[in-house]
Structure 1
Amino acid sequence: MSSTVHSGAPDLDRDAIDYEKIKDPGHGNTPAAWTGVFLMLLGGTILSIGFVMGIDIITYVGLAVFVAGPIVGLIMRAAGKGKPRS
C-alpha cells in the first residue's frame, strides 16, 4: 500500500483508525478534574500575588491551595466524581 506525501508527512491510513474508540477520549471532563485544576490555578494566582507583594502569609496560603488541588482531585475521583479507571 502506498501513501501520498503532502508537506513531507505521509497520509494516514484511515481504515486503521478506530473512530468509535477515539470519539470521546474523556480528557478530564469530570468534576474531579475541573476542581483540581481550578484549585491549582487559584493557588498559583494567590501565590504569585503574595510573592510579588512580598507578603509571606499570602504566598504560603497560595502554595497550600495549589498543593491541595491535585489532592482534592484524587479524593473526588475516589469518591466517584472522576473518570473511572479502565
Structure 2
Amino acid sequence: MSDENEPGHGNSPAAWVAVIIMLVGIAGGTLAFWFDQPVLVFASVGVVVLGLIAGLVLAKLGYGVNGTRYAPKSHS
C-alpha cells in the first residue's frame, strides 16, 4: 500500500512552521474568546492568517514538500 513517490503529506519545514504559528493563533484566540477580549480574538485571527502566509512564503522559497531545499527523510 506504500507508494515510493509519496510526497510526505506536508511533512516539510514550511508546513511545520505554518501549523505551529496557526496553532498558537488558535490557542490564543480561544483564550481571548474565553476571557471576552474581542480585540485579542481578532488579533489571533491575524496570527492565523500570518501562519498561512508564512507557510506559503517558505514553500515558495523551496522549503515545501517539492522544494529544492527540502530533503525528505526515509521512512524505514
Q: TM-score, normalised by structure 1?
A: 0.67
- What is the RMSD computed on CA atoms of the aligned residues? 1.9
Give every structure 1 segment of 4 or more consecutive aligned residues whose post-TM-superposition deviation is greater than 3 Å.
none
CA distance in 1, matches of 2:63, 2:11: 10
Residue 10 of structure 2 is matched in structure 1 by 28
Name the CA distance, whole Å, in 2 between partners of 1:59 and 1:49. 8
Deviations 1:17-45 (A, max 9, x none): 6x4525x5411111100011111111101
Structure showing greater Rg? 1
Question: Which residue type is aligned with residue 21 of structure 1?
Answer: E
Contact 2:30–2:41 (CA<8 Å) still a contact in 1?
A: yes
Does residue 1:76 correspond to 2:58, yes or no? yes
Q: Which has the higher contact order (CA 8 A, sep 6+)?
A: 2
Segments of 5+ residues of structure 2 without an aligned counterpart are: 68-76
1:59 counterpart (34, 41, 48): 41
2: distance between equivalents of 1:20 and 1:49? 41
Tell me the residue number matched to 1:41. 23
Deviations 1:54-76 (A, max 9, x none): 11221111111111111110110
Q: Structure 1: where are the runs of 5+ without partners? A: 1-16
* 1:81/1:51 CA distance change after superposition, 3 Å: same
Structure with the bigger percentage of strand: 1
Length, aligned pairs only: 67
When the two structures are superposed, what TM-score results if normalisation uses the length of structure 2? 0.74
